[in-house]
Amino acid sequence: MLLATSLVMLMTPGLAFFYGGLVGRKNVLTIMMQSFVSMGITTILWVTVGFSLCFSGDVGGIVGNLDNAFLMGIDLNTPFTADIPVFVFIAYQMMFAVITPALITGAFANRVRFPAYLAFLVAWLLMVYFPMVHMIWGGGILAQWGVLDFAGGIAVHAIAGMAALASVFFIGARKDKPTGPHSIPLVALGTGLLWFGWYGFNAGSELRVDEVTVTAFLNTDIAASFAAITWLVLSWTLEKKPKFLGLLTGAVAGLATITPAAGFVTPQAAMVIGMLAGLVCYFAVALKNKRHWDDALDVWGVHGVGGTVGVVSLGLFASLEVNSAGSNGLLYGDAGFFILEVVAVVIASVYAFVFTYLMLHVINMFTRVRVSDEDEISGLDGSEHGEEAYL
């Protein structure tokens, strides 16, 4: 579990490289810093109140209490399961909390002031992520209903993607028109680190080593591979060139999409889910471009849509033969479970979208969210941080 925790931690620097390569040269450090600063601030928030709000007690089925604030009442001998102490679980779940808000930053790249981002990071974790984790994984209302989410299709990707879309609508389009990725090799490095770390993200979510762990590991690679090649074929067919960036983006879409279902479906289902991820996410990004939604790095199309497709696929393909702690999906005779998963992802997505939009309004009352036109054109690395990635 400590190895799995380390793998998930590595995903945040991986995301920084992935996003850093996608933006222009004058905004590389800004987007990377937004990922790295989450590692520090989210850790502080997690060990003070976050873990307790997610996994301690229950208040109305929505959030936990503060019984374990500052990790009070917990020591090295406090068990979580028969195999691991609660300290290990605290560290593991902390890495999920670190990367989830960092995902959103790709949507508003090049446009947000650093103080506003810090306020956003704290408020979003407290009011969206922590309650959602409690409702799904901490014994809250969605868990009581029987909602399943193996490693974060709802709790990570769907809500981050919808928060990203809300931020795009609030902040508006870039004045400085994008010129495309400045370094596809950096994107490739980030993709490799994300893919590698995702084995800890998905397989580690079983919290022990058994046949479900192995299934989740294998399904993760299968879905990413099928999605990457599906996206490649689509871009080759429709854009007339086999785009490396398309291959990389498709892989991340497949990883996000299999996440909620990884430990509940067969490898054959993972193949279908991977192809669905490549197909649906590709056309979601195309729709975003057609509607001129300036989601700079396709967070909604890849993570929001991918996470939602994954949750719906879980409702379709889940099988008790794969995981006795799971459920049967629609294709195995349980229409009720399918409906439950669809309702859960819709509720979570709507909440994340509405709250994020309103929260940005409130933050903007205290500190301006969007950078000035002059700072945007000159680049945020210099105007916000006084540094340059390349001399």
Q: Determine, yes or no, domain membership for 78.
A: yes
Residue 12 and residue 370: Cα distance in Å, rounded? 24
**Bridge partners, residue 63, by sequence:** 59
Residue pLDDT tens, the chain, 391 long: 999 999 999 999 999 999 999 999 999 999 999 999 999 999 999 999 999 999 999 999 999 999 999 999 999 889 898 889 999 999 999 999 999 999 999 999 999 999 999 999 999 999 999 999 999 999 999 999 999 999 999 999 999 999 999 999 999 999 887 778 999 999 999 999 999 999 999 999 999 999 999 999 999 999 999 999 999 999 999 999 999 999 999 999 999 999 999 999 999 999 999 999 999 999 999 999 999 999 999 999 999 999 999 999 999 999 999 999 999 999 999 999 999 999 999 999 999 999 999 999 999 999 999 999 999 999 999 999 999 999 8
**What is the number of domains present in the chain?**
1
Residue 95 and residue 197: Cα distance in Å, rounded? 11
Q: Determine, yes or no, domain membership for 390.
A: no
Contact indicator for 341, 308 with CB cutoff of 8 Å: no
Q: Determine, yes or no, domain membership for 191.
A: yes
Q: Determine, yes or no, domain membership for 385.
A: no
How confident is the model at residue 27, as a pLDDT?
Answer: 94
Q: Determine, yes or no, domain membership for 382.
A: no
**Which of 264, 268, 260, 262 lies closest to 320, judged by CA?**
264
How confident is the model at residue 83, as a pLDDT?
Answer: 87
Q: Determine, yes or no, domain membership for 316.
A: yes
Burial status of residue 386 (CB atoms within 10 A of its CB: 0-12, 13-18, 19 or more): exposed
Contact indicator for 277, 285 with CB cutoff of 8 Å: no
Q: Which two tokens stand for residue 369?
A: 């969210």
Residue 306 and residue 187: Cα distance in Å, rounded? 19
CA distances from 318 to 150, 264, 273, 321, 346 (A): 11, 5, 12, 9, 19
**Bridge partners, residue 79, by sequence:** 85
Q: Determine, yes or no, domain membership for 115.
A: yes
Residue 184 and residue 226: Cα distance in Å, rounded? 21
How confident is the model at residue 321, as a pLDDT?
Answer: 96
How confident is the model at residue 176, as a pLDDT?
Answer: 82
Contact indicator for 334, 328 with CB cutoff of 8 Å: yes
DSSP letters, 280-295, are HHHHHHHHHHHTT---
Q: Which two tokens stand for residue 5?
A: 């925790």
Q: Determine, yes or no, domain membership for 51.
A: yes
What's the domain range around 131? Answer: 2-377
CA distances from 192 to 112, 122, 388 (A): 27, 29, 25
Tell me the angle at which helices 114-124 and 335-366 cross, rounded to the nearest 10 degrees.
140
The domain that contains 356 carries what CATH number? 1.10.3430.10
Residue 313 and residue 184: Cα distance in Å, rounded? 31
CA distances from 255 to 82, 208, 220, 223, 270 (A): 30, 21, 6, 6, 10
Long-range Cβ contact pairs of 242-251 (< 8 A, separation 24 or more): 244/184, 244/188, 245/181, 245/184, 245/187, 246/282, 248/184, 248/187, 248/188, 248/191, 249/281, 249/285, 249/298, 249/302, 250/277, 250/278, 250/281, 250/282, 251/191, 251/195, 251/224, 251/225, 251/227
